């Protein structure tokens, strides 16, 4: 099995953490900048995005949460949905909203430079991030259980991505509980080994 990923992508990090936590060890990691349109990535994923998993059969799997869905179907126990799947999925939805909004700001900057941040759409995305992270701070996901839940994975991925991409932003609220949660999660190799960082220059 192979996974195309980048070191910056929060979506790829979700898939990488989920695969590692489910014990998928026979995985070949293909570091790929999706913006450079690698022919192999384009062949596997018509959208040329990471994460993209290619199974040993050649079947490609795309979209971070669909990769998690496939993992849950293939290896149901222990589950990333914990004892209370409804709450886990609901919380993961809030974290995914923050991740999508943060990624939209970064992509917006590619189109219109940093001015995107203060544009009406940029400010709307910023509001999504503030609202979502404030809700998660008020009600952080549970960190007990045999595996980190999808709620914990997506919340930590959101927080670490914001700290990586918006380190100097004064508009982010204080998030002490989530900072502590993210720090604690790094005791697990799946989280520590996938912390976001700039892509190596090729
Ligand atoms: N909904 C997708 C989003 C994947 C995504 O947008 N990945 C970005 C990297 S963060 C990418 O590959 N972008 C390249 C592009 O949009 O062309 C998922 O959940 O996997």
Residue 113 has pLDDT above 80, yes or no: no
pLDDT at 27: 95
Q: Where in the chain is the domain with CATH 3.40.30.10?
A: 2-77
Q: Could you tell me which residue, 202 or 36, shows the higher pLDDT?
A: 36
- Cβ(50) – ligand 1 distance below 6 Å: yes
Structure-block tokens of residue 2: 């192979």
Residue nearest to atom 11 of ligand 1 (CA): 49
pLDDT at 45: 98
Q: Ligand 1 centre and the CA of 146: distance in Å?
A: 29
Quick check: 129 and 155 in contact, CB under 8 A?
A: no
Residue 103 has pLDDT above 80, yes or no: yes
Confidence of residue 115 (pLDDT cuts 50, 70, 90): confident
Buried b (16+ CB within 10 A) or exposed e, 24-45: beeeeebebbbeeebeebeebb
Residue nearest to atom 12 of ligand 1 (CA): 49
- For residue range 44-81, what is the model confidence (pLDDT) as tens digits? 999 999 999 999 999 999 999 999 999 999 999 999 99
Confidence of residue 201 (pLDDT cuts 50, 70, 90): confident
- Cβ(108) – ligand 1 distance below 6 Å: no
Q: Ligand 1 centre and the CA of 50: distance in Å?
A: 5
- Cβ(35) – ligand 1 distance below 6 Å: yes
pLDDT at 48: 97
Closest ligand 1 atom to the C-alpha of 67?
20
Distance of alpha carbon 183 from the chain centroid = 16
Confidence of residue 125 (pLDDT cuts 50, 70, 90): very high
- Cβ(20) – ligand 1 distance below 6 Å: no
- For residue range 34-53, what is the model confidence (pLDDT) as tens digits? 999 899 999 999 999 999 99
* Residue 172: burial class (beta carbons within 10 Å; 0-12, 13-18, 19+): middle
- What residues does 5 pair with on adjacent strands? 31
Q: Where in the chain is the domain with CATH 1.20.1050.10?
A: 85-188
- For residue range 5-25, what is the model confidence (pLDDT) as tens digits? 999 999 999 999 999 999 998
User: What is the per-residue DSSP string for 57-68?
Assistant: TS-EEESHHHHH
Instruction: Give the CATH fold of the 85-188 domain.
Output: Glutathione S-transferase Yfyf (Class Pi); Chain A, domain 2 (1.20.1050)
- Cβ(67) – ligand 1 distance below 6 Å: no
The secondary structure of the chain in percent helix, strand, coil, rounded to multiples of 5, reads 55, 5, 35
- Cβ(49) – ligand 1 distance below 6 Å: yes
Judge: domain 2-77, CATH 3.30.420.310: no
Q: Ligand 1 centre and the CA of 135: distance in Å?
A: 25
- Helix (H) / strand (E) element for 2: namely strand 2-5
């Amino acid at each position: 099995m192979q996974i195309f990923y980048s070191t910056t992508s929060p979506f790829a990090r979700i898939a990488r953490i989920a695969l590692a936590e489910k014990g998928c060890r026979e995985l070949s990691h293909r570091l790929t900048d999706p913006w450079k349109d690698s022919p192999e990535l384009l062949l596997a994923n018509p959208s040329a995005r990471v994460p993209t998993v290619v199974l040993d059969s050649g079947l490609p799997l795309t979209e971070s949460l669909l990769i998690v869905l496939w993992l849950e179907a293939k290896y149901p126990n222990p589950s990333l949905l914990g004892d209370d799947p409804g709450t886990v999925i609901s919380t993961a939805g809030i974290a995914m909203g923050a991740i999508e909004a943060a990624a939209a700001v970064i992509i917006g900057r590619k189109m219109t430079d940093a001015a995107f941040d203060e544009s009406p759409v940029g400010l709307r995305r910023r509001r999504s991030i503030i609202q979502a992270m404030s809700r998660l701070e008020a009600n952080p996901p549970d960190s007990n259980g045999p595996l980190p839940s999808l709620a914990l994975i997506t919340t930590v991925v959101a927080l670490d991505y914001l700290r990586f991409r918006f380190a100097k932003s004064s508009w982010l609220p204080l998030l002490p509980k989530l900072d502590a949660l993210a720090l604690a999660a790094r005791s697990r190799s799946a989280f520590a080994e996938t912390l976001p960082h700039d892509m190596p220059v090729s």
